[in-house]
Amino acid sequence: MNAPVSAPKDRIVIFDTTLRDGEQSPGASMTLSEKLQVAEVLDEMGVDVIEAGFPIASNGDFEAVSEIAKRVKNATVCGLARASNNDIDRAGEAVKHAEKRRIHTFISTSPLHMKYKLQMEPETVYEKVIASVTRARQWTDDVEWSAEDGSRTEHDFLCRCVEAAIKAGATTINIPDTVGYAVPEEYAALFQMLLNRVPNADKAIFSTHCHDDLGLAVANSLAGISGGARQIECTINGLGERAGNAALEEVVMAIRTRADVLPFATGIKTPMLTRASKLVSNASAFPVQYNKAIVGQNAFAHESGIHQDGMLKNAQTYEIMRPDDVGVKSTSLVMGKHSGRHAFKEKLKDLGIELGDNALEDAFRRFKDLADKKKHVFDEDIEALVSDEMENAGE
Ligand code: KIV
Ligand code: ZN
């Protein structure tokens, strides 16, 4: 059942980090010209915030963020920075030419990260939260603060840090599930807890940032917005560290397809999703798995006879989205050993071949024998299979 047309839908900010967290995938680095192409498509597609890189990381990263900042027309361009003046100033320099610019500064807040990674006392971390946000605000009014490993952070300390970040001027508060450890109910409850307990929570937009170590990044992102977050950080094709980040195309299509239970809206032009996926896959040299949701080669392909028969009667029997809604021309009925008579007959019709009942039965039997031996049965195989009948028909 769909939500009533007049139901108000909260707008979700789509923050794409393909060019920052996505590019941190081992082996996924992109050239400047590839990054510019990706940024252009993200902007055209309606992404709200493009995290273009980590300017202090290298001169190349600085240049990429800076060039993207100069060229992007609609989206906010964001640069990442640790909680240090050098990082923040470098990010500020890199995004300064953007029409809309954001600095995203972060520090770890979980006991494990503070003790072993940062080797800092919680009070030092707390002071750095305030100092880093204050510094970033000298460059722009749009400052995002992230509690790295936020989902494994002790709640009282997280509340204190979030409150301090907002007081220092952060306008977006991101609570990353840095190691993909959270489960959906828990992640939703984390946002509810923060929104209830942090006194100035209404002064900022809360954000999800989910990694896919347990395959829960998209589910957690959706749970996060159900819990009150209004920004989702994600990447095209789910590219990202280790098992990746929440996939933008999955998050966006889940929100669009399940408007009945997810009363939210994004500004993404979904027919551009397939183009964006192909571009990022080529630029990063990361192939998209065939059965990947939304953009995989098989996402709108059907082989089984029962499914093909259903699809030929009514596409909604086995498809919950229209292919053109994500930029795929049409559904494909793949001919293989699971295909049935109905699809075989349709395929012949598409190829301009008409056979009588007996010839059709005979051709179908030979097609099944061939499909048992061959992984893919192409149109040419089918044409060859019925060539005798075609010649006889022509005589
Ligand atoms: O996963 C993470 O915690 C991050 C932060 C830098 C936001 O990518
Ligand atoms: Zn991340």
pLDDT digits (tens, 9 = 90+) for 317-352: 999 999 999 999 999 999 999 999 999 999 999 999
- Evaluate if residue 243 carries a pLDDT over 60: yes
3: its two tokens:
């939500």
Is 358 assigned a ligand-binding role in the annotation? no
The crossing angle, in degrees rounded to 10, of helices 184-197 and 155-168 is 50
Least confident window among 99-103, 176-180, 323-327, 354-358: 354-358
Judged by its nearest atom, the ligand closest to the C-alpha of residue 108 is 1
Cβ(125)–Cβ(162) below 8 Å? no
Report how far residue 393's alpha carbon sits from residue 395's, in angstroms, rounded to the nearest whole number. Answer: 6
The reported pLDDT for the residue numbered 375 is: 84
The reported pLDDT for the residue numbered 42 is: 98
Report how far residue 88's alpha carbon sits from residue 143's, in angstroms, rounded to the nearest whole number. Answer: 11
- Around Cβ 220, how many Cβ atoms within 10 Å? 28
Cβ(293)–Cβ(257) below 8 Å? no
- Around Cβ 15, how many Cβ atoms within 10 Å? 28
The reported pLDDT for the residue numbered 6 is: 52
Three-state SS at 185: helix
Ligand 1 site, residue 148, Cβ cutoff 6 A:
yes
- Around Cβ 43, how many Cβ atoms within 10 Å? 18
242: its two tokens:
């280790």
Ligand 1 site, residue 207, Cβ cutoff 6 A:
no
Nearest CA to ligand 1 atom 8: 21
Report how far residue 295's alpha carbon sits from residue 258's, in angstroms, rounded to the nearest whole number. Answer: 18
- Around Cβ 32, how many Cβ atoms within 10 Å? 13
Ligand 1 site, residue 209, Cβ cutoff 6 A:
yes
Three-state SS at 291: coil
Of residues 1 and 49, which shows the higher confidence score? 49
Placement of tokens 């840090």 in the chain = 161
Nearest CA to ligand 1 atom 1: 178
Is 209 assigned a ligand-binding role in the annotation? yes
Closest C-alpha among 54, 66, 46 to residue 29? 54
Centre of ligand 1 from the C-alpha of residue 148, in Å: 6
Q: How would residue 360 be classed by pLDDT, with cut points 50, 70 and 90?
A: very high
Centre of ligand 1 from the C-alpha of residue 362, in Å: 60
Residue from 129, 148, 210 whose mutation best tests the ligand 1 pocket (most atoms within 8 A of CB): 148
Predicted TM-score (pTM) above 0.90: yes
This complex has an ipTM of 0.99
- Evaluate if residue 215 carries a pLDDT over 50: yes
Residue from 112, 178, 242 whose mutation best tests the ligand 1 pocket (most atoms within 8 A of CB): 178
Cβ(152)–Cβ(183) below 8 Å? no
Ligand 1 site, residue 43, Cβ cutoff 6 A:
no
Q: What is the maximum span of the chain, computed from C-alpha positions, in angstroms? A: 91
Report how far residue 140's alpha carbon sits from residue 340's, in angstroms, rounded to the nearest whole number. Answer: 61
**Helix, strand, coil percent values for the chain (each to nearest 5):** 50, 15, 35
